[in-house]
Structure 1
Amino acid sequence: MLSLSDVSLKPDGEHRFAHSFAPGEISVVLGANQSGKTDLCRLIAGLNTRAQGSVRLDGAPLGSLNPRERPVSMVYQAFVNYPNLTVFENIASPLKAQKANGDTISRKVASLAEKLHIQALLRRYPSELSGGQQQRLAIARALAKEARVLLLDEPLVNLDFKLREALEVELRELLHASDTIVIYTSSDPRDAFTLGDSLLLLDKGQKIQSGPPLEVYQNPSSFEAMALLADPDINRFHRHGKPCALRPEHLYLASEHPSTTALSFDMQVSAYETSGSESYVHGQVEGNDWVLRHSGMLSPKIGQSLKVSAAERDVVQF
């Protein structure tokens, strides 16, 4: 178990929190830019950071260990590989640092290269690889260290969508085959469900909620927690004097599913977009910006008033 205590991710030292990460799980740390995700990773890895706090692995403090001594590997969003080493030599570098013998190095490099589909690239240099291949290489090198803790700081954010989608599935299968503590940071709520066994939400350096992804989605503790797991943003309104919210996917056109028990709203259309399979209608409801996420194609008129509805069970009240 990796246990953090008295953690502050801001220079002012406020909003301290504790959290634990379990082995054999992928823990997604979700937050917007500047929420403290990278600082949290750097604190665990022992790198320079404004974050403060205590880090323990199975009860043993890591604070006195320098980054090389810690059983921690880190993969960054930038493609960080040794440019003067081949793919084979890059993957082998942490094994050589551990003074592993030649047979062990060859066997482990071959195994990792096969799992990450770069076995045909072992003699190439990083400059000869595509972005996706470079990030696979960085992940293979991190795994070669066989660290107890693997930190993946938005490792796929610079890849195109199709490649990122494919790598996420492969990465989940690969990481679940080990007993490693995996911490994966992201600003994309889809990663929480695609990859995460557990979820930690950060907002402006504060821990705002944690738990299984579906449980956090169904029972958000605040507007901020609900918004982090929404794409696009949540729709806010007041009901009986209390703040409430609805997710865009829980809105529908009242004309499509008429119901006397559903909540109904008048939405003044300001813009819309469609991908063919989905449409997003933007507008104003009670002076607030709202978005309706609709399957299929919609072509409303700008300025048109749409009657939209939502089921009572989908309203989240704070």
Structure 2
Amino acid sequence: MNYLKYLFVLLIFLSCKGQNKDNLVSLNKQITYAIDITAPIPVIIYFNDIKISEENTPLNSTLDVNGYALKNGKYKIKIQIFPIFRRGDKMINPEDIKGCLLKFGSYVRDKEKNDILDYQMNTDLSIKIPTQPVPYFKQEWEVEVKDLPYDLAGWSKGQDLSKMDKKVLEKRVASFHEKVREILNHGNGNQWADLTKKRAAETAVFYYSTPEQQATSVSENKTNVEKYCTNMMIPLEDYELKLYAGGKLATLERKNHTMEFNHKSPLDIKGWGALIRKGQKSGAADYRILLYLPEGSTEFVIIRK
């Protein structure tokens, strides 16, 4: 009997050991796909029909897209450009659009050495420059993601929210946001961690985090909520419902432009997630949440931000 118990424990140990080994991804395969953009004007960027950036200031950054590519395959990148609000523009100048440079590619992040390896942003996303000022500009490209070492479920089995009555859906999404706002405003880090555990688990996969790194990230997020959000969340207001990923993701975003917010000027919070925390002295930060509704469920789940 003792031998059988020993054998049972040994089999479990070997099984878990093998499982952990399988889950480890060697550094050279920890591929992160990204969009590199330099733009003298505000540009809204979408990947896989999900808004991944809306900065109301010029961009000069590299935007990771692993969180929005659930598996290998072909994806669409889209940009939108509107007249510059802070300048009072009514049209977009072709010269401003000409200054927007975009590339798509990949790199490897060595988190232990805080270094970037194998930086290959080698796919130019050429822009078709209009010949005269335009009131609105958009363009799309198709790119291929082929070296991800994982396949995530994400929102792939979520319900198509676009088929629901829009007013009913907005009310339900707003109710969920209000619940989250109360949790954040009370500084309840544990409840926030519980609500975002699905998001955190998938983030650990596409960010190639070790269990220790994931635990640290969760702990830091809880601490930040307790330290910075308590009694600092503004009311849920001036929002509009937005659907992404072919109708499988829903969120609320601020609807109107601002020139100043919480003693910081200029600060335009149009397009931010509707859950906004005021800064201690000035400015603000948003807690954007992308929600999906699993098949057969009536409860929203936070899956991305």
Q: TM-score band (shorter)? A: under 0.3
Larger relative contact order (CA 8 Å, sep ≥ 6): 1
Structure with higher Rg: it is: 1
Tell me the TM-score normalized by structure 1: 0.20
